[in-house]
Structures are given as structure tokens and as C-alpha cells.
Amino acid sequence: MIPRVAGVTDVGTVRSANQDAIDWRVSDDNSQVLLVVADGMGGYQGGEIASRIAVETVMEVLGGFLVQGDEGASDLPPDAMQAAINLANERIQECRAGNEDLAKMGTTLVIAWVIDGEAHIAHLGDSRCYLVHEGELQCLTRDDTVVQNMLDDGSIQPDDVPNVPFRNVLTRALGASSSLASFGRVILGPGDCLLLCSDGLTGALPETDWLPVISGQGAPEDKVRALVRTSLANQAADNVSVVLMILE
């Protein structure tokens, strides 16, 4: 299987700055892929710094394992991913402690590390990872938010979500809470896709509109641009970030 990857991040139609950060890397032999999306918070400067630290640290720590022939973490991906997340958390905490203006900064984080067709997912916050398999879209992550907790315990119904004033309040975020991530894994096959995104996409574009774009004709670059372009047409109120991997 050959992975094809593309990503786009956009400031959106309301924000004055982009606090999202994205990155990805494919190993030379195509056996491994690393995808990362982070959505910063804590003010313009703080959010931008936190998301950048998170993404750069993950790529620094895990990117080395994508070098051909380096099998150092391939047996225990969650351990290596958590180690990268812990280091990112420490670096964000150091910035928070050293600058009063950054005292409230933090970031969501979602990582997909694909090794020989097996995707390992780690996340904190409400940035998400989706799987497209045989024409169906499935969310592989659970939002760390107050409103998701309320949905889970039956306090509210899905139709009530738009009316919850604190629906975007996170219960977990890197730098601002415990750095312990949630993990999952899924086996991928030819034609499968992984999509990582910030909540700027999920908040502006219904999931029902994604599948025709992702499953249609065109390169990954065209598909991520189409998703972002449509979210902007819907007046996306937040930064919008999408990273898409298609296995061929």
C-alpha cells in the first residue's frame, strides 16, 4: 500500500490569527506514516505557541522512528507516543511558568501513527481522527469536553448541543491538565483513509458533507482544499485544519 498525504490549515473567517498547527511525515519505504493536528488555546500568542510546541515535539520524538530500518518503537507505539506527549507537556508547562501572558495556554492534540497498515491513535481534547472504510465515515476519537460527558450520561440529547453555552469547554488539554492521552488502533487496508482535523472543520461542516468529497475523484490535496473551502463558505468561526491520508 502506498500512502498519499495532504494537509491544509486556515485561519477561518472570524479569527485574526491561526492557533492550529499540523504536520505529517511518510517513511522512505512507505511503511510508516505520522500525522499530527493541534488546536491551541489561551489567547492568540499562547495558543499559537502551545500548538506549535506540541506538533514540533511529536515530530521530533516520533519522526526518528520513521527512518528506514529504525524499529526502536514499533513494538510499543503507545508508549513512544505517550513519551512524546509528556515531553510536549513539559515544554508547554515551562513556557507557562516563565511568562505570565502565557499562563492559560494549552492545546488539543491528535496523532495517527501508521505502521505496516496498523494505525495507532492518540488524542487529548476535541481534535478528531476519522476513518473512511468501504464508503463509511467513522470517528475514532471521543471528545474531551463537558458537553460530550453530558451526552454520555444522558443529561442532554444531540439536538441540545448547539444550545449548550459551554459546549466547547475542554475537560482535558495538553499543558493545562493531565497529559495522559487516550489511545486506539485500527487495521487499514487499500482504499482506506484517515482524516485528522481541528474542531473548526467539525463546527462548520456537517460530517454528512465530508464523504462525497473524500470518496470522490481527485488527489488528497484537492480533497483537503475542498473541505476547507466549503467550511469557509459556511463562515467557519474557528481556525480550520485538515490532514488526510489515503492508502492506495
Secondary structure class of 8 (helix, strand, coil): strand
Which residues constitute the domain of residue 57? 3-247
- Rounded to an integer, what distance in angstroms lies between the CA atom of residue 242 and that of residue 232? 13
Distance CA 129, CA 123 (A): 9
Residue 114 pLDDT exceeds 90: yes
Q: Please say if the pLDDT value at position 72 is more than 70.
A: no
Predicted confidence (pLDDT) per residue in 194-234, tens digit: 999 999 999 899 999 999 999 888 999 999 999 999 999 99
pLDDT of residue 211: 93
* Count of domains for the chain: 1
C-beta separation of 47 from 124 below 8 A = no
Do 144 and 170 form a contact (C-beta atoms < 8 A)? yes
* pLDDT value for 110: 98
Give me the CATH number covering residue 8. Answer: 3.60.40.10
Q: pLDDT of 145-180, one tens digit each?
A: 988 888 888 888 887 787 787 777 899 999 987 789
Q: Sheet containing 3-10: which strands, arranged edge to edge?
A: 3-10, 240-247, 193-197, 128-133, 136-139
Q: Above pLDDT 70, what percent of the chain?
A: 96
Identify the three-state secondary structure at position 83. helix
- Inter-residue contact 187 to 115 (CB < 8 Å): no
- Least confident segment among 70-74, 75-79, 114-118, 125-129: 70-74
